[in-house]
Structures are given as structure tokens and as C-alpha cells.
Amino acid sequence: MEAALTQPAVRGKRILSGIQPTGAPHIGNYFGAIRQYVDLHHENDGFYFVANYHALTTVRDAETMTRQSLDVALDLLACGLDPARATVFLQSDIPEVMELTWILTCVTPMGLLERCHAYKDKVSQGLPADHGLFAYPVLMAADILAYDSDYVPVGQDQKQHLEVTRDIATRLNYAFGQEILKLPEPYIMPQVATVPGLDGRKMSKSYGNDIGIFEDDASVKRKIMRVVTDSTPVEDPKDPSTCNAFQLFALFATEEERAEMERRYREGGVGYGEVKKQTIELFHRLLDPLRERRRALERDPDFVRDVLRQGAKRARGHAAEVLERARTACGMPRL
Ligand code: ADP
Ligand code: TRP
């Protein structure tokens, strides 16, 4: 059904990723990250968590935090994670990660964090940044390193954080003279590393240019019809590589559908209205089963809580082992 994706086959590995509960996930999250979570969890040990401590850098309301956290967990299950196979949990249920964060903090140079884009962008806009935003990449490193993760499926915007994670792990291993932490690899799909939003910039909740995976039909239609295009007449040839409407279409199309549309673009005779209407149909073809599953899951709120409880139990067991290794290496064994 979907366009073929190229990445080396990964089997029998620990896959880990996190997503912040900062709002409803969009198709940039889906193609850039969540679809890889699902694809990889069948033949690997998938650990996926709701990064609520990271969201605390922006969400300042308890009720919103709780609701959004449970919602994101539900979204992940609706997207196809099988709770019998994947370990799905809340970051805040794993206190070992916080303890590991401090150990990592002590080997993290200030300069490394000063170069990280979230903090740098805020400071360059003259906005006040708090310590949480500055230290954010160290917490993310602990999230990853606490489970001996092999691969971390993310979008391109998280690549820098993966480099920082590897750097910090190397420093701890070097400082204490042993292989304490395992170095993870990013898992980034080149074609969908940065999914564009309605206005052509990176799709992001914070830019308001996103289309939600679970958004209602009318608003999906309205948004896709609103995608920014130029004013080339229908009959003129067009360049698909610079067209936002084509990029969106291509996400949902099969290889053949994409090639056919590309040919019609170059020949001329296809209008943006037609491309957008087809995109709406393809959106529903791919995502309606997920949307249906979400409606079914919503009817049983206890289910998601149970999944998260079980997930936390399993994840804690692994994090405790890694933390013990790190504590012992630093000279802090349990007496
Ligand atoms: P947002 O930028 O909308 O707040 P998040 O930070 O919650 O999204 O991202 C969750 C995951 O989705 C991360 O792995 C991130 O790299 C990926 N992601 C977010 N936006 C995009 C995008 N436009 N294209 C590809 N991947 C994305
Ligand atoms: N920083 C990630 C984001 O904004 C979320 C995240 C937190 C994460 N911890 C992680 C992603 C560990 C991968 C692995 O999208």
C-alpha cells in the first residue's frame, strides 16, 4: 500500500523512543517517527514512552499534563503498537532515569548544551530560558542510555540530541575507565526525516501548520485544501520537487501513484485542487483504520492505564540494572 521505505533491516535489537505529551500528534510525527516505532516493534524489543518530564519545560497545568499524557499513550496504541509486544510507559514512572541524569550531568560540558538548538534558538530570540530547557538533552540522554538502547527512531530535528547522547555516554565511559553505557544509533528515514507543514516549513505543533492524525474529517479536508501552492495554471508543467501539495500527496501514495503524479506534474494538465482532493482520499485510506482503533480504545480508559503500569514495571527493571552499573562505576555501590 505505502511507498517503500529504505533502512537496513533491524532485528532482535532494543528500540527506544519518546514523544512529548504537548498536544495531539500530527502526520509529521507519524511519518517521521511513530510509523517506525510500529514497524520496528514486531521483530525487536520496542520501548516507547511518553516524555512528560520533557513536556514540563512547556506544559504548566496539571490537568492538561495528565490528560495529554494518557492521550498520547492511547494514540501510540491506536497507531498500531501491540502492548503485548511493546513496552509502553510514562517517563515519570521511572525514577532511575532521574538518578542517571545527575550522573550524566556531571560529565556534560556547558558548551555542549549551549550549542543545542532548542536552547540556542530561545536565547537568540532574546527569550528567557530556564534550566530545564538547557538540561533537556541530558535527560534525553538518560532516557536512551538507561535501557541499553540500540536504535532510536526519530525525525531529523532530534539528530543533534542523539549526537549529544553519544558524546555524553563516551565521556562517562572514558572518565570511569569502562564500558558502562552502550552507544545508541539514530534511526532516521531519509524521505520523511522532515515532513513539511501546510505552509512549507517543518510540520510542528508549535507552528500551527500541522494536520493531526486523529483530527476530524472536516478539519482534515479544510487543512489539506489550504496547503500553500503557487499560481501556475492547470495546463502548465510543474516541478514536483518544489511543490508542497505534491510532497504531502507523496507521503500517502504508493510508489506507482507517486510516479504517475510526478509524470503528470512534469507534463502539465494537473491542477493543485485535484492533487489535494486525491491527498484527502489517500489520507483516509491510510489512517482511517487507526482512527477507528482509537475510537474503540477510548471506550476503555482503564486499558491504557494498565498498559502503562505494566510497561513501567518492565522498563524499571532494565533501568535499575543500568543505573547500578553507573553507580558502581562512580564508586556509589549500595552498602
Ligand atoms: P513537534 O515538533 O510537533 O512538537 P515532537 O517534538 O513531539 O513534535 O516530536 C515527536 C517525534 O516526531 C520526534 O521523533 C520528532 O523528530 C518527530 N517529528 C516531529 N515533527 C516532525 C516532522 N515535521 N517531520 C518528521 N519528523 C517529525
Ligand atoms: N526530545 C524528543 C522530542 O522532542 C522527545 C524525547 C525525549 C525522546 N526523550 C527521548 C526521543 C528519548 C527519543 C529518545 O521529540
Q: What is the CA radius of gyration of the chain?
A: 21
State how far Cα 78 lies from the chain centre.
15
The contacts of residue 312 (CB under 8 Å, 6+ apart) are 89, 90, 93, 94
What is the model's pLDDT at position 1?
A: 39
Query: Splitting the chain (335 residues) into consecutive groups of 10 residues, what average pLDDT does each group show?
Result: 60 98 98 98 98 96 98 98 98 98 98 95 91 97 98 97 98 94 97 94 93 98 96 94 95 97 96 97 98 97 97 98 97 94
What is the model's pLDDT at position 5?
A: 53
| CB of residue 204 inside a 6 A radius of ligand 1 | yes
CA angle 118, 95, 98 (to 5 degrees): 40
| Catalytic status, residue 202 | yes
Pick the CATH number of 205-296 from 1.10.8.80, 1.10.10.10, 3.40.640.10, 1.10.240.10: 1.10.240.10
DSSP, collapsed to helix, strand or coil, labels residue 235 as: coil
Closest CA to 206 of 75, 48, 22, 12: 22
Under a CB-based contact definition with an 8 Å cutoff, are residues 35 and 188 in contact?
Answer: no
**Partners of 19 in the beta sheet?**
50
Given the residues 13, 122, 221, 277, the one annotated as active site: 122
Q: What is the distance between the alpha carbons of residues 35 and 29, in angstroms, rounded to a whole number?
A: 8
CATH architecture, range 14-193+301-329:
3-Layer(aba) Sandwich (3.40)
Å from CA of 28 to ligand 1 middle: 6
Q: What is the distance between the alpha carbons of residues 119 and 136, in angstroms, rounded to a whole number?
A: 9
What is the model's pLDDT at position 119?
A: 94
CA-nearest residue for atom 15, ligand 2, is 19
Under a CB-based contact definition with an 8 Å cutoff, are residues 210 and 217 in contact?
Answer: no
Kindly list the domain boundaries of the chain, sorted by start residue: 14-193+301-329, 205-296
Helix pair 301-329, 62-78: axis angle to 10 deg: 100
What is the model's pLDDT at position 237?
A: 95
Q: What is the distance between the alpha carbons of residues 218 and 90, in angstroms, rounded to a whole number?
A: 32
